[in-house]
Amino acid sequence: MSKRAQTRVEQQNKKRRQRFISIGAIIAVVLIVVILIIRQSNQDAVEIVSVDKEVPAYADGKALGSVDAPVLVQSFSNFPCPHCRTLARDAASQIESNFVESGLVRYEYHYATFDQSVGRFAAEAAECANQQGAFWPYHDILYANQTGARDQYSERRLIAFAEDIDLDGGDFRSCLDEGKSSIVVQQDAALAAEMGVNATPTVFINGEKVEGSMPFEIYKEIIERKLE
């Protein structure tokens, strides 16, 4: 092979190597971009603890049970409050199964946010769910996803909760963005002040005040006494 031909072959091989290097670099960049997109997508995904979407047959807005029940239980709670979560998942659930379902108790939930922004925003979201007839599933999903994190009730998460229990997303967003539910939250705040609520949870059983999350037996004893 002549020197000129050898030089031409070497140049062709050099160009081929450069082309392979360029293609490899492009592929590497594409892979990095894909990885970043997937990672960001995973970060943006909202992890949700799902709940039963069914609304109890005896639900009446944010109350459970008949207005004619002989005992009225009024619960003043705040969604970011850990003790309120305990009350909702333990004693309140047992009050429902032991007394509400049999028609002996009407259980009312009232927002008591003390103008705390996270609690107020969560309460307004719950009231938006209430406007779609789904207060109790939303109540449950808020407490099920209480984490203590600063963003536990961010707008993105509140909307994701609504979607998880099959609410109309457009109506929910509109209600939340336009503050359509704030008046009810304010009315509950006024009622809480009127009844002397200064901590959550606070429960009234036919007017008898019980502060804090107590074992079911405490509420049971008072309810049975009121039924005598």
Domain CATH for 74: 3.40.30.10
List the structure tokens of 138.
Answer: 């939303």
Within a domain: residue 150? yes
The full length of the chain comes to 228
The answer to whether residue 51 sits within a structural domain is: no
- For the chain, give the longest Cα–Cα distance: 116
Q: What is the pLDDT of residues 206-228, one digit of tens each?
A: 999 999 999 999 999 999 999 99
Among 206, 58, 82, which residue's Cα sits nearest to residue 136?
58
Place of tokens 């963003």: 151
What's the pLDDT score for residue 41?
A: 37
Same domain as 107, residue 5: no
Find the Cα–Cα–Cα–Cα dihedral 166, 168, 173, 174, rounded to 10°. Answer: -160
Query: Is residue 20 included in any domain, yes or no?
Result: yes
Backbone angles phi, psi at 80, to 5 degrees: -80, -5
- How confident is the model at residue 116, as a pLDDT? 87
Residue 168 lies in a domain: yes
Statement to judge: residues 178 and 124 lie in one domain: yes
Residue 82: is the preceding peptide bond cis (ω within 30°)? Answer: no
Q: With respect to residue 126, please indicate whether it lies within any of the assigned structural domains.
A: yes
What is residue 7's predicted lDDT score, i.e. its pLDDT?
Answer: 65
Bridge partners for 77 per DSSP: 111
Q: Which amino acid, 188?
A: D
- The pLDDT, as a whole number, for residue 167 is 98
- The pTM for the full model equals 0.80
Q: What is the mean pLDDT of residues 33-47?
A: 49
Whether 99 and 17 map to the same domain: the answer is no
Q: How far is it, in rounded angstroms, from Cα 25 to Cα 28?
A: 5
pLDDT tops 90 at residue 32: no
Of residues 37 and 82, more confidently modeled: 82
Query: Looking at the structure, do residues 41 and 110 belong to the same domain, yes or no?
Result: no
The residue with greater pLDDT, 28 or 160, is 160
Asked if the structure places residue 50 within a domain, the reply is: no
Query: Percent of the chain scored above 90 by pLDDT?
Result: 79
- Same domain assignment for residues 73 and 32: no
Is residue 53 predicted with pLDDT exceeding 80? yes
Same domain, 126 and 15: no
Domain limits at 148?
59-227
Over the chain, what is the mean pLDDT? 89
pLDDT of residue 115: 80
pLDDT band at 4; cut points 50, 70, 90: low
Output the pLDDT for position 110. Answer: 99
The answer to the question of residue 30 being in a domain is: yes
Residue 34 has pLDDT above 60, yes or no: no
Bridge partners, 75 (sequence order) = 109, 203
16-30, 70-84, 208-222, range with the lowest pLDDT? 16-30
Task: Answer whether residue 200 shows pLDDT above 50.
Answer: yes
Domains in the chain, number: 2
Whether 40 and 76 share a structural domain:
no
Same domain, 109 and 165: yes
Structure tokens at 51: 């709940």
Residue 52 lies in a domain: no
Conformation bin of residue 36: beta by default, left when phi > 0, alpha when psi is -120 to 50: alpha
Q: Does one domain contain both 10 and 118?
A: no
Same domain, residue pair 20 and 82: no
Tokens representing 23? 């293609």
The string of DSSP letters for 115-181 reads: T-HHHHHHHHHHHHHHTTT-HHHHHHHHHHT----TTTT-HHHHHHHHHHTT--HHHHHHHHHTTTT
Among 35-44, 116-125, 185-194, the minimum mean pLDDT is found in: 35-44
Answer whether residue 16 shows pLDDT above 70. Answer: no
Q: Are residues 36 and 125 in the same domain?
A: no
| 71 shares its domain with 15 | no
68-79 average pLDDT score: 98
